[in-house]
Structure 1
Amino acid sequence: MERAKTKRKRGVILTSAGLKRLQAAILAVEIAENHGQRFTLEELSARINISPKTLSRLWSLKASVDHRTLKLCFSAFNLELESADYNISSDLDKISTDDLIWGNSLDEQDIDFFESRREHSFSVKESDNLTYTVSFPDGPIAFDSPLYIERPPIEKLAYQEINQRGCVLRIRAPKEMGKSSLVVRLLALAKQQHYYTVKLNCNQIDYNHLTDLNKFLRCFCNGVAKELGIEPKLDDNWDEEIGSKLSCTFYFKNYLLKQINHPLILVLEEVDCLFEYPQLAQEFFPLLRSWYEEARRDTDWQKLRLIVVYSTEAYISIDLNRSPFNVGLPLRLPEFTRQQIQELAKRYGLDWYSTQEASQLMSVVGGHPLLIQITLYYICSQQIPLNNILQEALVNGGIYRYHLWRHWVKLQENPSLLEAYAKVVRAQTSISLNPLETYKLESLGLITYKGNNVIPSCELYRNYFLRQLSKN
């Protein structure tokens, strides 16, 4: 008599934390070895040496597999299996292939790989609890958040660039457009590839260091060394006789880079503040450019991959042949499209695909990422109808008051710039401004081009600033 088939018991279930680690590692390999193209389930199966069916069961986070299989998956992508990556289970294997969340390929997954968790975290049924699951959007979007919206091809280009030896990646956009959220993802990806990562915010540098090149470069080197966990030993590696720039260069090349065996991703955020110190900027930025050029022929410098993040371009006198702002890959973050707003609304548990809400919102705030996020947050957390939000915004700023007030304070600090913007918001059609005014207002995100002329970036700005100007 034929023996009845029984379902095999498997010992462990992949946790969401483990899935996050594994999928991020897979992404790193896809970018490094597959030109950024996603592996199909069959390709992953061949690489790991387990069947597609078993692999699919693993992705479900419901079916258990044996410990050895899970270890194989992680080791195939240079990861050590950790206790937080799995739970012990003795349940019978009951999952079917109908429960798969990846289907036959990875093509529909976002680069951050959290699409599979979106419905669970932001389903309509859970909308009453949204306040507790989504914090107010006032900073970078966490790496594990499903609320990050990609703006192709920005992310793919950035991911590919940091794998280039000695690269310079320049990320430019006005404040609150998503630069820091992109950096969060770049650093997470770099760590998955065992790169060293250091992020320095130039706004955190003391004033007395910004007015003295030697102090600034020593502070810069000291900060990088400490972030790398290397004892700075600046006095042992600094030669006043050859000057601070050569000392800084030798310190990086012969001390820091010699001690690391993987690439270093160095992020410089808020470099705009350095433009306010022209003497420093005219020395420091050409120094960065020289390192980029050295990387073309020096393998030590090829370990350094530089990411420069800023809102304004260097409107200072730097020889084009010595400037780092005309080399490497420039990326400028655009506003959201209507389709991207609809997708973000879906992740908040709203269906805007079959309605006009996305277009209605864009007619007031444009595609500004932060203003879109704030709107959706209030709609879902406090159940405020979109019409009410927009009506109040056009009357007194509404939920966007802090964002608008910050811009108003900035303009008041610069009377000539305020006067220029007054011309823009009062004009019935697009107008022309002088290049410096245009550059500054565009860097703040307050204007957009219409042909060769400019107009306010959105109707919210026009209404708010017209009202503020009328009070003066």
Structure 2
Amino acid sequence: MKQFKGTRKRGLVLTSAGLQRLQAAILAVEKTQNKGDRFTLEELRIRMNVSTKTLSRLWSLNTGVDQKTLKLCFSAFNLELSSEDYTILNEPNNTPSNKSLSLSVDTEEVNLSQPLYTDLFVNQDHEPLENLWSYPDGPVALDSPFYVDRPPIEELVYREVTQPGSVIWIRAPREMGKSSLVLRLLAFAQMQGYHTVNLNCNQIDASCLTDLNKLLRCLCWRVATELGIDPKLNDNWNEEIGCKISYILYLKSYLLKQLESPVVFVLNDVDSFFEHPEVAQDLFACFRSWYEAARQDTNLQKLRLVVVYSTEVYVWQDINHSPLNIGLPIRLNEFTEKQVEYLAQRHGLNWSADKEVRQLMSLVGGHPALVRIGLYYLCCQAITLENLIEEAIANGGIYRYHLWRHWSILQEKPHLAKAYAEVVTKKQNSSLNPVDVHKLESLGVIRYEGDRILPRCELYRAYFEKQLSTIVE
């Protein structure tokens, strides 16, 4: 195997059996020595005596480490490494010899221009790039070469979803890449042999959002139906003991009891629940109860919950009752210069980080959707970067449909439009209603700079300053 200059030889990845054995040992130590609390990455690093970068390689299942490192990690949890725990990366394509792990790998040192998961679900026999270009609307498809990894986020969620009874909270404003990440998380779960259920909460009837009993029954019915199980809600729901206890009993004594493999249940766009604070508090209290009960119940441990939302959760007055202090919190940020440069290269553009990349980012920042739209037009519509920026500032240009969507939302909510007008006109905004600020963040039209609230990018500032000027007092 090829030896890379300046680095140790790396050529082994964990098999799914090895990963499960190591994670089971970690879980056992967490229960006996850490009061059941999960080890942080830093605690694992210290215990295993390896770097956090090495841990990222280890959990990725697609980036090689050396045998000495594997032995060190296993021995830290009183395990002896066996041949079934790992597989060898083959030359010349650096692919695992175990065909069940057909993942793209890079055995060189990791950097942002060569992300760990870029090609995880991508067919390497792609047709020419120009045949792949389509208008970037919605999540990035699994087989698209235009997905940009944001290390260590992918590694963290992949590892966490394999943990018994885990909860993952994925937060970001709209069009920041939540759905694209969820697609890959679900695909990874399916590769592990897990069941998956993906529910958009905007599909739930409004009548359920004001009645906790209806909402819990709706969620249980949806999970059962997606899994091909007869819901039999009336037979397994006792109104006398209340919906909260019925919900837990239904999960552990009926639904999950019938399954051998874990279930990954994704709740997308839970922001709609926040419009009904009392029901939202009770619902997430149920999630917390389930999470705590799962520590002792093997059936409940089969359920892995992923909650996806756009804004800060502001319905809990007491932080001790908030569900956000359980599970793994993930927040998606904007692309960095390196990530934008990488994506431009994926589009066939030979861009420099200190020139073209900065020019585009001076307009749209690192907003994933706006960067993708810009690159699409530069590649497909014979427009120059200079013209793109000039037209966008003048009248919205290629971003006009994106901007119109935001503008129509603001027009429907005059109080929200007025609040945003204060932001884009640089008025004192420290007295803005916190709920309005949360909603503006959910839309993705603002960002924070210390204590200041600013338009997310220059494009938004220039466009909405003109649009909102008529309502500024």
Normalising to structure 1: TM-score of the pair? Answer: 0.77
Pairwise CA distance, 1:440: 2.7
User: 1:130-169, aligned counterparts within 5 Å?
Assistant: 130=130, 132-169=131-168
Q: What is the distance in 2 between the residues matched to 1:194 and 1:455? A: 44
The one-letter amino acid paired with 2:160 is E
CA distance in structure 2 between the partners assigned to 1:346 and 1:173 by the alignment:
25
8 A Cα contact 1:28 1:192, kept in partner? no
For residues 98-117 of structure 1, the C-alpha deviation after alignment (integer angstroms, 9 at most, x for no partner) is: xxx96766957644352897
Contact 2:420 2:440 in 1 (8 A): yes
How large is the Cα RMSD of the aligned pairs? 3.4
| 1:144–1:117 distance in 2 versus 1, CA, 3 Å | closer
CA spacing shift, 1:51–1:256, aligned 2, 3 Å: closer
For the structure 1 residues 51 and 370, does the alpha-carbon distance in structure 2 shift closer, same or farther, using more than 3 Å as the test?
closer
1:456 maps onto 2:455 in alignment: yes
- Mapped contact 1:296–1:302 kept (Cα < 8 A): yes
Measure the CA separation in 2 of the matches of 1:32 and 1:408.
52
Which structure has the larger Rg over C-alpha atoms? 1
Cα 1:245–1:57, aligned 2, differ >3 Å: closer, same or farther? Answer: same
Distance of aligned partners of 1:49 and 1:213 in 2 relative to their CA distance in 1, 3 Å threshold: closer
Out of 57, 76, 82, which is 1:37 matched to?
Answer: 57
Mapped partners of 1:293, 1:451: distance in 2:
35
Change (3 A) 1:105 1:33: farther
Counterpart position of 2:183: 184
**Given that residues 56 and 102 in structure 1 are in contact (C-alpha distance below 8 angstroms), is that contact kept between their aligned partners in structure 2?**
no
Is the Cα–Cα contact under 8 Å of residues 444 and 456 in structure 2 kept in the other structure? yes
1:448–1:454: 8 Å Cα contact kept in structure 2?
Answer: yes
* CA contact 1:195–1:264 (8 Å) conserved in 2: yes
Q: Is the 8 A contact 1:432 1:454 kept in 2?
A: no
Q: % of aligned pairs identical?
A: 51
Which residue does 1:287 correspond to in 2? 286
1:38-437 matches, cutoff 5 A: 39-40=63-64, 55-57=90-92, 73-74=98-99, 110-112=115-117, 114=119, 121=126, 126=128, 130=130, 132-317=131-316, 319-353=318-352, 356-427=355-426, 433-437=432-436
Q: Which amino acid aligns with 1:255?
A: Y
Describe the SS at the equivalent of 1:37: helix
For 1:229 and 1:169, the matched residues in 2 are separated by 24
1:65 match: none
Check the 8 A contact 2:13/2:87 in 1, yes or no.
Answer: no
Change (3 A) 1:247 1:431: closer
- Give the drift of 1:318: 5.6
Instruction: State the one-letter code of the partner of 1:112.
Output: Y
Q: Does the aligned pair in 1 maintain the 2:14–2:85 contact within 8 Å?
A: no
Using the alignment, how far apart are the partners of 1:316 and 1:204 within structure 2?
A: 21
Work out the CA distance in 1 between the residues paired with 2:297 and 2:390: 59
**Contact (CA 8 Å) 2:115, 2:150: kept in 1 or not?**
no
| Structure 1 pair 436–219 and aligned structure 2 pair: CA distance change class (3 A) | closer
Report the Cα distance in structure 1 between the residues aligned to 2:85 and 2:263, rounded to whole angstroms: 32
Separation in 2 of the partners of 1:102 and 1:274?
40
SS of 1:261 mapped into structure 2: coil
Structure 2 vs 1, CA of residues 389 and 105 (structure 1 numbering), >3 Å: closer, same or farther? closer
Q: Within 1, Cα distance between the matches of 2:429 and 2:209?
A: 39
Write the deviation string for residues 125-165 of structure 1: whole angstroms up to 9, x where unpaired.
x5xx62x3122111111122221111122222212221222
Separation in structure 1 between the aligned mates of residue 426 and residue 301 of structure 2, nearest angstrom:
51
- How far off its partner does 1:52 sit? 7.0
CA contact (8 A) 2:118 2:149 kept: no
**CA-to-partner distance for each residue in 1:39-93, whole Å, 9 max, x for gaps?**
538869x95899979x325768xxxxxxxxx9x7336x5x9xxxxx9xxxxxxxx
**Equivalent residue letter for 2:98:** C
CA distance in 2, matches of 1:386, 1:285: 46
Residue type of the alignment partner of 1:349: G
How far, CA to CA, are the matches of 2:21 and 2:338 in structure 1? 30
Q: Distance in 1 between matches of 2:382 and 2:361?
A: 20
Q: Indicate how the Cα distance of structure 1 residues 431 and 450 shifts in structure 2: closer, same or farther if over 3 A, else same.
A: farther
Which 5+ residue runs of structure 1 have no aligned equivalent? Answer: 1-22, 61-69, 80-84, 86-100
CA contact (8 A) 1:341 1:358 kept: yes
Q: Is the 8 A contact 1:430 1:450 kept in 2?
A: no
| 1:24–1:206 Cα change, 3 Å | farther
Unaligned runs of 5+ in 2: 1-11, 24-54, 71-81
Distance 1:50 1:469 in 2: 59
Q: How many residues align?
A: 410
Contact 2:213 2:243 in 1 (8 A): yes
